[in-house]
Structure formats: structure tokens, C-alpha cells
């Protein structure tokens, strides 16, 4: 089955429930029979309670006055939701025997069972089954993915995804011929992996990192962006993932993005974020993690070159990356000076920000950015001083 959208069915069922509920209250009030509280208890537990004591004679359910169908019951509810009709109904209901009231209780309870909201796990299972259905239409496949995208957001649901076979099903979609399917699948994997070491490990074990890294190279921007988002979420604070990223030439992947002037700026920002992340990880895990490319001069030059880009937001991300990279022992200040021309890049940015401060609309942002720039410059000069000191 492929028609299930929690967003559209929920309010409708809830609406029906409210109508039935208000009608039922009138019945209860009219009869004043709620002394046992049995209906409420069983309603609360969604039909789990033994309710045989409520059923006097099952055949009576078929008699007139009962509702033989869901439709009949809905009509009853809708009819009785009109205020004047509600009043009438209350009077009518006063004439109901307690037997008839019992019947309504049972029918209402059955209806509530039918309206019972499926659990998130059940909804995920439906979407996963759909993904595994080869003959599903593209549109339905996309809808199933959109549903999973929402469902995996709570961390417990993300953990359930693998148990339900969902990770494998979603990862398979990364090979789909449709770019939207691939992009949304990457997005789901990223969302589920984010800050979730368990899911990160599961996804890495299934081998999705390499596939996602290939998608980052897509010439279709949205697909590349979602794939890079997923790669970043998958290897963040994850030493195994970062080493695999490095072994699979993540260095070149980042360099291709940073060096390509026609690539979307969002991809460049994400790459710089990832660089800062990797540098911080390297700093925290000096003894277990080897990311030699972070010290590579070509790589460092590409990051420094972004400082003189035309997009301030992008320049800011580059500053953050350089700030993190400067903390690493492996980052050679002389390379930054002689090969990357960091002094010149920082000075050029200083002048640019000075001009910007004269513009009232950008003044505050320029001041913030200048203070970050100055911090980076100070850290850089300090690092440079250390290596330039001639031992006596």
C-alpha cells in the first residue's frame, strides 16, 4: 500500500474523534451511568482492557439503534455536531436505555480502535516496505522517502531504522536513476546519522560512505549538496569514518570543490565546515587519527584562497577553517606564509572589512568578522614566530 500520509490523515481522524467524543459526553451526561468508569479506562488503554462485561448480548449490536457501519456512525456524529441537533440528541439520549448506551459505548470504542494512530515504527515500516516494492511509482517512492525524512528526526526513530531494514532500503536508493530519489535518500542518511554514533557505525558498515562521496561529485547541485551533508554527518566525530574518508581520497573531493569557480557556494561552505570539523577531530585524536592531507600545501592554499573570495559568508567559513587548522602541530606556518600567501590574504580581507564598516548596513557584521580575522592573524603570527626564531 502506498497511500498513507500522516500529515493529511491525522487532523481528519482527530476531527471525527472530537465530534464523536462530544456526542458521547452528552450520552453519558444524559444517562449518568459513568460510575464504573469502565469506558474511560478501556479507552485510555486503546482497547487493551478486557471489556466483556460491557457486552450484554453481542446480537444486540445488530439491532436498530446501533450503528451497523462506520459510515452510519460518522453520519450520526456529524449530524449531532450541530449545536441545536446536539441539544436534541441529548434529549433523545435521555430516552436511551442503559443497554442502548452500552451499545454506543462499544461502537465508539471500536471506532476509536480503527482511528488509532499508527506508531512511528509502524509508519516507518510502511514506508520501508514501499521502498522495497520494485513496482512502486516514482511519485510514491519519493513520498515514502519524504515520510522517512520526517520520521527519522527523533533520535530513537533513527536508531530503529536499521532494525526495520530501513537503512539498507534507503542506501539502495542511492543507486536509483532519478536524482531526486538519490538526493532525498542521502538527506535521510545524513539526518539519521547526525550526532548519532550508532547510526553512523551502521551506515559505515553497510558501505554507504563511498557511494555518498561519489554523489558529491554529481553535476546536479541539490544532489551534491545533500550528499555532502550526509558525508559530513556520517564522519563527524567519527574516527573510523574520517579515516575511510581520507583513504577514499576525500582530500581530492574537497579540493575539487574548493578549486572550482563554477561550483555552488553552498557546497563550498559545507566543505569548509567539514575541514574545520576534521581539523578539530585531528586535534582531539592525535594518537589515533591520521589525516595527513590537512597539512598538504595545495589543500591549504585552496582554503586560504577562499579568504579573498567575493562572498563574505564564505570568507567567514574559511577563517573558521584556518583557525582550526592553525591549532594543528602538522600545519606548517612557513607553508602558509610562503606557498599560501596567508599574510597577503589576511591583509586584503582587513582592507575589505574596513570599507565595509563605513557602510551602516553592514557595520556590525564587518566588526564581528574583523575580530575573527584578527584572532586568526594573531594565532598565525604566533605560530610563525615560533618557527622563525633562529636557535642560538
Ligand X SMILES: *[C@@H]1O[C@H](CO)[C@@H](O)[C@H](O)[C@H]1NC(C)=O
Instruction: Report in angstroms how near the CB of residue 44 gets to ligand X at its nearest.
Output: 23
For ligand X, the closer of residues 178 and 284 by Cβ is 178
**Site track 284-303 with ligand X (rule: CB under 6 A), x = hit:** --------------------
For ligand X, the closer of residues 10 and 56 by Cβ is 56
For ligand X, the closer of residues 242 and 271 by Cβ is 271
Among residues 96, 263, 314, 372, the one that binds ligand X under rule CB under 6 A: 263
How would you class 179 by CB atoms within 10 Å of its CB: exposed for 0-12, middle for 13-18, buried for 19 or more? middle
Among residues 2, 33, 54, 90, the one that binds ligand X under rule CB under 6 A: 2
**Site track 207-246 with ligand X (rule: CB under 6 A), x = hit:** ------------x---------------------------
Rounded CA separation 80/271 (Å): 60
Among residues 82, 99, 178, 205, the one that binds ligand X under rule CB under 6 A: 99
Closest by Cα among 100, 103, 112, 119 to 43:
112
278: left (phi over 0), alpha (psi -120 to 50) or beta: alpha
Cell of residue 248, nine digits: 577514499
96 near ligand X, judged by CB under 6 A: no
Cβ neighbours for 279, distance < 8 A, ≥ 6 positions apart: 294, 321, 324, 325, 327, 328
Residues numbered 114 to 143 that lie near ligand X (CB under 6 A) are: 133, 135-137, 140
262 near ligand X, judged by CB under 6 A: yes
Instruction: Report in angstroms how near the CB of residue 347 gets to ligand X at its nearest.
Output: 29
For ligand X, the closer of residues 99 and 378 by Cβ is 99
Instruction: Report in angstroms how near the CB of residue 133 gets to ligand X at its nearest.
Output: 4
Among residues 260, 286, 338, 371, the one that binds ligand X under rule CB under 6 A: 260
Rounded CA separation 243/32 (Å): 70
Cell of residue 42, nine digits: 478501556
**Site track 53-92 with ligand X (rule: CB under 6 A), x = hit:** ---x------------------------------------
288-291 contacts, C-beta under 8 A, 24 or more apart: 288/239, 289/239, 289/242, 289/243, 290/243, 290/246, 291/242, 291/243, 291/246
Instruction: Report in angstroms how near the CB of residue 14 gets to ligand X at its nearest.
Output: 27
Instruction: Report in angstroms how near the CB of residue 23 gets to ligand X at its nearest.
Output: 22
206-212 contacts, C-beta under 8 A, 24 or more apart: 206/167, 206/168, 206/171, 208/171, 208/174, 208/234, 209/234, 209/235, 209/241, 209/244, 209/245, 209/248, 210/244, 210/248, 211/171, 211/174, 211/175, 212/174, 212/186
For ligand X, the closer of residues 220 and 372 by Cβ is 220
153 near ligand X, judged by CB under 6 A: no
**Site track 28-57 with ligand X (rule: CB under 6 A), x = hit:** ----------------------------x-
Q: Are 188 and 232 in contact (CB under 8 A)?
A: no
Cβ neighbours for 2, distance < 8 A, ≥ 6 positions apart: 130, 133, 136, 137, 140, 143, 144
Give how many residues touch ligand X by CB under 6 A.
Answer: 14
Residues forming beta bridges with residue 64, ordered by sequence position = 66
> What's the DSSP call for residue 175?
G
3 near ligand X, judged by CB under 6 A: no
Instruction: Report in angstroms how near the CB of residue 267 gets to ligand X at its nearest.
Output: 8
Residues numbered 355 to 384 that lie near ligand X (CB under 6 A) are: none
Rounded CA separation 162/132 (Å): 14
For ligand X, the closer of residues 57 and 71 by Cβ is 57
Cell of residue 17, nine digits: 474523534
For ligand X, the closer of residues 2 and 372 by Cβ is 2
256 near ligand X, judged by CB under 6 A: yes
* Interacting residues with ligand X (CB under 6 A): 1-2, 56, 99, 133, 135-137, 140, 219, 256, 260, 262-263
Amino acid at each position: 500500500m502506498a497511500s498513507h500520509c500522516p500529515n493529511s490523515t491525522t487532523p481528519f481522524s482527530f476531527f471525527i474523534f472530537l465530534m464523536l467524543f462530544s456526542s458521547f459526553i452528552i450520552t453519558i451526561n444524559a444517562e449518568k451511568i459513568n460510575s464504573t468508569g469502565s469506558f474511560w479506562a478501556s479507552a485510555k488503554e486503546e482497547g487493551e482492557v478486557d471489556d466483556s462485561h460491557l457486552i450484554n448480548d453481542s446480537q444486540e449490536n445488530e439491532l436498530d439503534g446501533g450503528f451497523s457501519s462506520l459510515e452510519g456512525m460518522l453520519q450520526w456524529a456529524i449530524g449531532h455536531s450541530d449545536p441545536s441537533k446536539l441539544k436534541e440528541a441529548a434529549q433523545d439520549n435521555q430516552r436511551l436505555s442503559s443497554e442502548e448506551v452500552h451499545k454506543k459505548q462499544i461502537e465508539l470504542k471500536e471506532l476509536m480502535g480503527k482511528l488509532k494512530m499508527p506508531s512511528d515504527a509502524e509508519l516507518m515500516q510502511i514506508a520501508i516496505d514501499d521502498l522495497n516494492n520494485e513496482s512502486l511509482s516514482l511519485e510514491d517512492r519519493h513520498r515514502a522517502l519524504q515520510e522517512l525524512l520526517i520520521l527519522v528526526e527523533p533520535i530513537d526513530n533513527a536508531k530503529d531504522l536499521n532494525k526495520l531494514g530501513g537503512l539498507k532500503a534507503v542506501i539502495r536508493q542511492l543507486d536509483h536513476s532519478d536524482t531526486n530519489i538519490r538526493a532525498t535518500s542521502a538527506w535521510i542518511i545524513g539526518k539519521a546519522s547526525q550526532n548519532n554514533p550508532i547510526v553512523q557505525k551502521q551506515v559505515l558498515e553497510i558501505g554507504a560512505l563511498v557511494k555518498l562521496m561519489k554523489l558529491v561529485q554529481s553535476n546536479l547541485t541539490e544532489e551534491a549538496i545533500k550528499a555532502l551533508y550526509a558525508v559530513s554527518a556520517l564522519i563527524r566525530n567519527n574516527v573510523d569514518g574520517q579515516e575511510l574518508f581520507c583513504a577514499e581520497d576525500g582530500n581530492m573531493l574537497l579540493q575539487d570543490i574548493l578549486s572550482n569557480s563554477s561550483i555552488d557556494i553552498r557546497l563550498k561552505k559545507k566543505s569548509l565546515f567539514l575541514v574545520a570539523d576534521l581539523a578539530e577531530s585531528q586535534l582531539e585524536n592525535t594518537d589515533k587519527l591520521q589525516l595527513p592531507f590537512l597539512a598538504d600545501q595545495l589543500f591549504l592554499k585552496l582554503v586560504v584562497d577562499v579568504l579573498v573570495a567575493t562572498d563574505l559568508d564564505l570568507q567567514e567559513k574559511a577563517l573558521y577553517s584556518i583557525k582550526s587548522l592553525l591549532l594543528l602541530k602538522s600545519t606548517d606556518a612557513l607553508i602558509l606564509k610562503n606557498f599560501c600567501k596567508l599574510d597577503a590574504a589576511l591583509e586584503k580581507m582587513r582592507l575589505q572589512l574596513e570599507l565595509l564598516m563605513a557602510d551602516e548596513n553592514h557595520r556590525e557584521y564587518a566588526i564581528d568578522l574583523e575580530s575573527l580575522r584578527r584572532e586568526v592573524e594573531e594565532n598565525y603570527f604566533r605560530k610563525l614566530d615560533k618557527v622563525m626564531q633562529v636557535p642560538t
